Amino acid sequence: MLEKNYLWRIYWRLAGVIMVCVVIALAVVSFFSHRVFDRELVPETEQKAATVGASVRALVLKATSYGIDFSQLYGVEQTFAEVFEENPEFAYMAITNTEGNVLFARGTEPIGARSHFRNPVVLQIAHETTELSKAARVGQQYIVSMPINDDGKPLGVLHVGIDAAFVDHVLLEVLLDVVVVLVVSLFFTLELLNFMAGARLASGLGEFARQVDRMRSGDFTATARIRANDEIGRLLRRIDSAIDHLNVRYEFLVGELQDKLRTATAQRREALKPAQDALEGISKRLRFGSAPEATDGDEMNLNRIRAPLFAFILAEELTRSFLPSYVNQLIVAIPGISPQVVIGLPIMLFMLIVALGQPYLGSWSERVGRRKAMLVGAIVATIGFAGTALAYNLYDLILWRSLCALGYAMVFVAAQGYVLDRTGHQNRAQGFALFIGAIMVATVCGPSIGGILADNIGYRLSFGVSALMSLFSILAIMRLPTTEVVLPTGKPTRGPRMREIMALIVNRRFMTLTGLAAMPAKVILTGVCFYLVPLYIVSIGNTSAMAGRMLMVYAVMMVLIVPLSASLSDATMRRDRYVSVGLIISGLSGLLLLLSDSFLVLFGVVFLLGLGQALSIAAQSALVAEHCQEEIRIYGNDAVYGVYRLLERLGNALGPLIASLLVILWGYQGSFVALSALVLFCGIAFTIATHGSEWQPAAPAHS
């Protein structure tokens, strides 16, 4: 028996094999590049130590040339300290005399240094008159030793210790980048696989499964489909020709029987009765003839939205990890507004435009066509990205970012509409899984890659890459089918009306869910991930790449946990419990910073935040339908969800504002803690509000 699931299993198995190959190849490449780096880094640093050491030696020789006794030099440790200040990779410096006794030293002396200094091979260095330096591993350091020799008269040896931990740290940084690239490559490969082969294979296998299903149910009608010229297509063509053959034989049989019946006598007719019954039985059980022309290709066309959507969302996601730092560079003092708030301003405005624009852009994209709407949106955003890359100061930056926001809202809404148009009730969830999937992959890949880009080619060029990405999406959108699917039943969607917004905003049940769960969740998401993390990470001397890695942790949590929690919350326990638990976990995340301010703790913060959000996100919107039935009955599904989404997105816009105000009051760490405490409070309040009661819809306050 051939099931569709079986074919999907084959597809995933194939995809799995390809992924494993990719992972192995990447792992091997990573391993070797890491080893090469390891091999090159230490000599590079040793060379630097020799150069820095030479300048210290020159100073020492200058002092002795003025008649100061070598052992009576003063302020040598101070010189060492100044060297350390400029070169954090050096952990120890020492000058020994010709016997190997330490005269001057500063920093952490590695274990075994004293005996190393007395080693005859090391002592011999003092007699060298050339620009020689020798390196050796001593304890936890690489010690670079060079002679202090006054024109043939050996004075002593200068030792510079390179901290192995520093080298390890650099290597760890590189390793983390390699891991990021690995993860991103993995997702990219999946995405490409899906784009190039997957969609085709999936539709081919789906077609095959449908054909087999049809035959199993006795449908042998001939189809006039054009089969793809691949293995599955050829197989299907053979099935088609077999079906054609069967049809011909059936027709022949029917014709022959009818002929015989027409010419036969009554007796003969009686004798033919069993044959006629058998044939009738066959025609009842099985169907022959030609099938009606089926509308085909929706599933295939649905898949085609994925590539342009991914490319476009990626363009925006690339900027997440460094946008606040970039704004900080272009900041202009605005009287009366704290610079902290000003940094958050472009993000806030972006979210606000997306929130307010979406309801209205939905019906607009319906009117002009999804493809055209996406095209316009992508063009607007491309201009926005290019402008951002070339921004002169904060004011025009805000204009450019607004264009990006407008374009983002357009593309988002139109792509959503595209999926809606091409899915029915039975495959809508699948359609949205595809839509969300493209976005999630972009959120995994974007910030991390963007961070690495920003660190290496600068903020402006990174925005240029975003513009390029957005440009790619335009090309991909142009390849979408030009024919729009118009749903016969669909009445035009509309934005929520003010009357509905006002009525719902004072509705207790609706606001418990929206005000205590949905909005706080978004506030902490944008406040922490888009504002605080990028700024705080850089403020404690880390890189944009590190901020990108943090945001990747969040996105990976979402990708891993959301499907799990979505199916679990349906199966095991009440959805409001998932929301409660999710909110409380999110609310605890920032409190971790009370323990320590290390960036490792920040990983924990982002991890918990991702976990909390992932647990609650799927359950939240389902809860609206579950608990606001009365409201949905009065105002309609579209209106209730419209207001819900609007408020949720306003939460997105509020996040950076609230976070920045908290930064003014209590600094970055305080802001993390306070924002989390706020969400924790909302989570507890939500739990109490929904506790015990079945939360039955009561009579609405207004009608």
Partner 1 sequence: MIRALLALFIVSLTLVGDGDARAQASTRPYRIYAITFRGMTDVEKGFQDYFAARRIPVQITWRDLNRENSRMSGFLEEIKRTKPDLVYTWGTSVTLGVVGTYDQVDPAVNITDIPVVFTLVAAPVLAKIVRDLKNPGRNVTGVFHVAPTEAQIRAMASYRPFKSIGILYTPTEQNSVVVVEEVREVSKRLGFTVIAKPLRLDANKKVTAEGAPEMVRELKQQNVEWLYLPPDSYLGTIAQKVVIPAAMAVGLPAFASTEQLMETGAVAGLVSRYHSIGQFTAYKAEQILVNKVPPAKIPVETLTRFALQVRMDIAEQLKLPPPLPMFNYAELIVPKPEPAQPAAAQK
- Residue 72 or 482 having the CB closest to partner 1: 72
From the list 1, 5, 39, 72, which residue makes contact with partner 1 (rule: CB under 8 A)? 72
Helix (H) or strand (E) holding 358: helix 339-368
- Residue 152 or 335 having the CB closest to partner 1: 152
- Residue 78 or 329 having the CB closest to partner 1: 78
Residue 162 phi/psi, 5-degree rounding, is: -95, 130
Helices (H), 158-265: 164-193, 199-216, 231-263
Residue 700 phi/psi, 5-degree rounding, is: -70, 150
From the list 18, 19, 42, 59, which residue makes contact with partner 1 (rule: CB under 8 A)? 59
Under the criterion CB under 8 A, does residue 127 sit at the interface with partner 1?
no
CB of 540 to partner 1, least distance (A): 25
CB of 516 to partner 1, least distance (A): 54
CB of 68 to partner 1, least distance (A): 4
DSSP codes joined into one string, 662-691:
HHHHHHHHHHHHHHHHHHHHHHHHHHHHHS
CB of 357 to partner 1, least distance (A): 54
Distance CA 537, CA 656 (A): 16
Distance CA 220, CA 18 (A): 36
Under the criterion CB under 8 A, does residue 483 sit at the interface with partner 1?
no
Under the criterion CB under 8 A, does residue 67 sit at the interface with partner 1?
yes
| Of 28-36, 70-78, 352-360, 373-381: span binding partner 1 (CB under 8 A) | 70-78
Distance CA 424, CA 487 (A): 10
| Of 58-66, 332-340, 458-466, 520-528: span binding partner 1 (CB under 8 A) | 58-66
- Residue 152 or 292 having the CB closest to partner 1: 152
- Residue 105 or 617 having the CB closest to partner 1: 105
> Which residues are paired to 147 by β-bridges?
157
DSSP annotation of 162: E
Distance CA 448, CA 317 (A): 9
- Residue 93 or 581 having the CB closest to partner 1: 93
| Of 74-82, 85-93, 434-442, 553-561: span binding partner 1 (CB under 8 A) | 74-82
- Edge-to-edge strand ranges of the sheet holding 134-138: 102-107, 90-97, 153-163, 141-150, 134-138
Under the criterion CB under 8 A, does residue 68 sit at the interface with partner 1?
yes
Residue 91 phi/psi, 5-degree rounding, is: -110, -20
Q: Please choose, from the candidates 586, 607, 617, 570, the residue with its C-alpha nearest in 3D space to the C-alpha of residue 680.
A: 586
Both structure tokens of 350: 């972006």
From the list 62, 118, 508, 691, which residue makes contact with partner 1 (rule: CB under 8 A)? 62
Gyration radius of the chain over CA positions: 35
Site string for partner 1, 77-116 (x = CB under 8 A): -xx--x----------------------------------
From the list 51, 65, 241, 393, which residue makes contact with partner 1 (rule: CB under 8 A)? 65
Distance CA 362, CA 384 (A): 21
Residue 136 phi/psi, 5-degree rounding, is: -150, 150
Give residues 360-389 in contact with partner 1 (rule: CB under 8 A): none
From the list 73, 190, 239, 634, which residue makes contact with partner 1 (rule: CB under 8 A)? 73
- Residue 76 or 545 having the CB closest to partner 1: 76
Under the criterion CB under 8 A, does residue 66 sit at the interface with partner 1?
yes
CB of 52 to partner 1, least distance (A): 14
Both structure tokens of 295: 């509308």
* Other residues' Cβ atoms within 10 Å of the Cβ of residue 113: 21
Under the criterion CB under 8 A, does residue 74 sit at the interface with partner 1?
yes
* Other residues' Cβ atoms within 10 Å of the Cβ of residue 523: 24
Under the criterion CB under 8 A, does residue 63 sit at the interface with partner 1?
yes
| Of 75-83, 425-433, 494-502, 563-571: span binding partner 1 (CB under 8 A) | 75-83
- Residue 76 or 653 having the CB closest to partner 1: 76
DSSP annotation of 634: H
Q: Please choose, from the candidates 576, 573, 520, the residue with its C-alpha nearest in 3D space to the C-alpha of residue 691.
A: 576
Under the criterion CB under 8 A, does residue 75 sit at the interface with partner 1?
yes
CB of 45 to partner 1, least distance (A): 24
Number of shown-chain residues binding partner 1 (CB under 8 A): 21
- Residue 76 or 537 having the CB closest to partner 1: 76
B/e letters for 241-252, b = 16+ CB within 10 Å, e = fewer, are eebeeebeebee
From the list 70, 188, 435, 459, which residue makes contact with partner 1 (rule: CB under 8 A)? 70
Distance CA 423, CA 411 (A): 18
Distance CA 462, CA 400 (A): 15
- Residue 102 or 257 having the CB closest to partner 1: 102
Residue 100 phi/psi, 5-degree rounding, is: 90, 10
Distance CA 448, CA 180 (A): 7
From the list 64, 189, 363, 493, which residue makes contact with partner 1 (rule: CB under 8 A)? 64
CB of 113 to partner 1, least distance (A): 21
CB of 155 to partner 1, least distance (A): 8
Under the criterion CB under 8 A, does residue 567 sit at the interface with partner 1?
no
Site string for partner 1, 142-161 (x = CB under 8 A): --------x--x--------
Residues 6+ apart with CB under 8 A from 266: none
Binding site for partner 1 (CB under 8 A): 59-60, 62-70, 72-76, 78-79, 82, 150, 153
